[in-house]
Chain A
Amino acid sequence: MNRRLLLLVTLLAALALVLAACGGGGEEGSAPTETAAETGGAAETAAPTPVPEQKEEAQQQTGQSLLETVKARGKLICGVNQALPGFGYLDQSGNFAGFDVDFCKAVAAAIFDDPNAVEYRPLTAQERFTALQTGEVDVLFRNTTWTLGRDTSVGLDFGVVTFYDGQGIMVRKADNITSMEDLNGAAICVQTGTTTELNLADQMRARGLDYEPVVFEDADSTFNAYEEGRCDAVTTDKSGLVSRRTVLQNPDDHVILDVTLSKEPLGPAVLQGDPIWHDVVMWVVFATIQGEEFGITSQNIDDFMNSEDPNIRRFLGLEGDLGTSLGLTNDFAYRVVKHVGNYGEIYDRNLGPDTPFNLPRGLNDLWTNGGLLYSPPFR
């Protein structure tokens, strides 16, 4: 009797396993196709695979641009950060705000004449590229560094920089550290798995400096250890340092060194292989820059409507067909500046002197002021 019972149990267990394997197999059977679509989109966009998830991409390849899809949908889906004050975050009333978020609004304003026709998707650093590859978002404005690898093997298209950033180092004022050389023998807090961890190692090694890296899993632990005095310095993107400094107990006790460990050009990313959509996003950003160069702001733009300057008339869509050739309306630049403002306004609103960050323009100033912002001509 006992053995029979044992046998029964064994058989039932075997049956359960078979069922579980089938069930699991079914689930996993569908999962790989999804992954296939994603990675296919990433590595080899050209490979046409008859998978439903990839239909949207396939359409793009056969000629229909994402621009048409967005227009038909009536709103833009924008991938943003929700945890970086100044760039992408939720404000007190629970709305998305920040420097990157304003550029989402600019794109929406150009297409729909309505800066609020945007659906925001908060994404983590790991999720962001997959979200773009699978078509979950139309464009990514999420402090993303433009690198060759991301432009090619990750399957994205960059092309314009909204914020020239660089890796920086923050120290305590009381320590009288002014250069990298003063950091010899220092303990430096850094977050794991970032390019900053590698840049730091390279820079210290190149200068022959000795240091103790204290590596943490997330930004909160990293900055907490720095604040408690475990480390003499903490390193990440400069914009991140500025943003994080505002939430330290005594922000004025800390200073960001005037050295840059690496180049971190941040800009919007779209999926590779859709030149029409790529052009739209690029030229909306250029419109904000060109607007500032012309001195056109959201306040005074209507005064410029009577301008005799052919350059300004073309920019505002009063002459020529620049906008329609992009697939937009002729007055797209007018809409962008009117609703969201020029680059300088966007910058000042989110990062300028009236904000807690008070971030100097630096490289993010017009080329005429010694910065790197330079829009190709609207012609």
Chain B
Amino acid sequence: MANTPLPVEHARPPFWRDERVLAVIAQIIFLIVVIVTAVYLFNNAREGLAQAGLTPGYDFLRLRAGFDIGDSIISYTSDDTYGRAFLVGIVNTVRVAIIGIILATILGTIMGILRLSPNLLLRGIATVYVETIRNTPLLVQLFFWYTAVMLKFPRVRQAIALPGPTYLSNRGLAIPWIEPLDGFRIWFGFFIAAFVIAYIVYRVQWTREDRTGQTSYPLTSALIAWIIVVIAGWFFAPGQPFTITRPELAGLNFEGGTVLAPEFAALLIGLVVYTGAFIAEIVRAGIQAVDKGQREAATALGLSTVQSLRFIILPQAMRIIIPPMTSQYLNLTKNSSLAFFIGFPDLFAVSTTIQNQTGKALEVISIVMACYLTTSLLTSLFMNWYNQKVRLVER
């Protein structure tokens, strides 16, 4: 009787009690709900627009914008199109994001390390910084940096003169700047190429040093290569590539040079200080997560505190730090949209103006969302690639 077939009730439960079937049904229901909701919302928006006599479309991007933008690093006038105005906003957002990410990383790393410092004063400063900044809203901080710091600098006629010549006033920091001449484009090509060549030289020399043990000065060689290429570019360019103009007070404002606008500065400082506090906590956690034995072993080997940080602790902490760091970078980029409130023409601020002037709310918002999404995904891709590179290779 050992081979008796199983009783019937054990063979196969009815489908409403079969987990496998139920799981599939649940997913199908979920999918249907999502699709129906999306279709409903889409139709709702379309009907609403139709009733208002509005036809959705992106043709307005080719129309003349008609408004001016104060702070732009690409050329733009009110005769350009709405599309170009969007581009100005995107460039401004990316500019703040890139510079902000670099500075926030530096500030955050320093502060994170200081929080673990044996020096009471340094540790105290870092703790106060992190706890104050992390626990107040960013918008409040931005208003502080703009109205209480930037706008309180002397007026343009009483500008503080600094060597350079540079001038600091509540119109911003006026600094000497290059003015491109005829040969600028060709020279600029050399300028970019110089970085590539310098990097190659660095790798070659470094590999040689690594392989042969001879001192090959990779960094110095790279620097010399860079200088040679840049100077070569000067000779190859047809005519002088640029001149340097100095800021001078003429009429109402500074002329010549370039001005770092206070709106930009306030936004950058605000974002860097705010994100830096979060990064400091991530760095601190990363360092503390490295096994205590590693530090002790480093000390036993005779490495100094700085050396053990640089060669033993940080490389290991990095693997823990990178993923949360990525989300801080994304936060910084998205938080830059608060620029709207302190008068910096970032993507969001420009899009608000465009939306007001064209009445194309849906289209404008869709463009803005697509832009932020693209920026964030690109940042994520880069960080994931870097994460792959530094992560522990398991054998």
Contact = CB atoms under 8 A, between A and B. Distances in A.
Contacts of A374: none
B276 interface: no
Contact of B356 (A4, A10, A192, A214): A192
A193 B352 contact: yes
Given A17-B30, A185-B251, A217-B343, 4 more contacts: A3-B19, A201-B78, A217-B352, A229-B151
Nearest to A174: B157
B22 A7 contact: yes
Nearest to B45: A32
Contacts of A4: 19
B343 to A, nearest CB: 5
8 contacts: A18-B33, A32-B48, A36-B51, A184-B251, A193-B353, A193-B356, A214-B343, A215-B353
A68 B50 CA distance: 33
B357 A221 contact: no
Nearest to B22: A7
A21 interface: yes
A contact patch SS: helix
A175 B156 CA distance: 12
Q: Range of interface residues on chain A?
A: 35 or more
A215 B70 contact: yes
Contacts of A230: 151, 170-171, 262
Interface in A149-172: 153
B69 A183 contact: no
Given A198-B357, A228-B152, A205 B79 contact: yes
B51 A215 contact: no
A273 B155 CA distance: 54
A46 to B, nearest CB: 13
Interface in B46-65: 47-48, 51-53
B217 interface: no
Contacts of B170: 228-230
B263 A43 contact: no
A7 B23 contact: yes
A213 B33 contact: no
A225 B343 contact: yes
Interface string B224-253: 000000000000000000000000001111
Interface string B329-361: 000000000001111010001001101110000
A187 B261 CA distance: 11
Given A7-B23, A185-B252, A215-B343, A25 B352 contact: no
- Please tell me the size bucket of the interface on B: 35 or more
Contacts of B67: 197-198, 201, 213
B343 A216 contact: yes
A378 interface: no
Interface string A213-243: 1111100010011001110100000000000
B52 A185 contact: no
B350 to A, nearest CB: 9
Contact of B68 (A40, A211, A228): A211
Contacts, number: 133
Interface in A187-221: 187, 192-194, 197-198, 200-202, 204-205, 211-217, 221
Contacts of B37: 21, 24
B155 A229 contact: yes
A194 B155 CA distance: 28
Interface of A: 3-4, 7, 10-11, 13-14, 17-18, 21, 24-25, 28, 32, 35-36, 39-40, 42-44, 153, 175, 183-187, 192-194, 197-198, 200-202, 204-205, 211-217, 221, 224-225, 228-230, 232
A11 B51 contact: no
Given A186-B252, A228-B152, A230-B170, A42 B52 contact: yes
Contacts of A212: 70, 253
Query: Ordered nearest first, which 9 A-B pairs have the shortest CB separation?
Result: A193-B356, A228-B151, A229-B155, A201-B78, A39-B52, A43-B53, A213-B68, A201-B68, A186-B252
A232 B170 CA distance: 12
B40 interface: yes
B36 interface: yes
A175 B155 CA distance: 12
B71 to A, nearest CB: 8
B151 A28 contact: no
B341 A221 contact: yes
A224 to B, nearest CB: 7
Nearest to A212: B70
Nearest to A195: B357
Contacts of B255: 185
Nearest to A193: B356
B189 interface: no
A187 B52 CA distance: 39
Nearest to B353: A192
Given A32-B44, A35-B48, A11 B343 contact: no
A225 B353 CA distance: 19
B147 interface: yes
B22 A11 contact: yes
B125 interface: no
Nearest to A229: B155
A214 B353 CA distance: 13
B29 interface: yes
Contacts of A204: 68
Given A36-B51, A202-B78, A211-B68, A186 B253 contact: yes
Interface in B148-177: 151-152, 155-156, 170-171
Given A32-B47, A193-B353, A229-B170, A214 B253 contact: no
A74 B251 CA distance: 61
Nearest to A211: B68
B18 to A, nearest CB: 10
B124 interface: no
Contacts of B251: 184-185
Nearest to B156: A229
Nearest to B262: A230
Given A193-B352, A198-B66, A214 B263 contact: yes
Nearest to A37: B51
A180 B180 CA distance: 30
A193 B66 CA distance: 12
Contacts of A32: 44, 47-48
A183 to B, nearest CB: 7
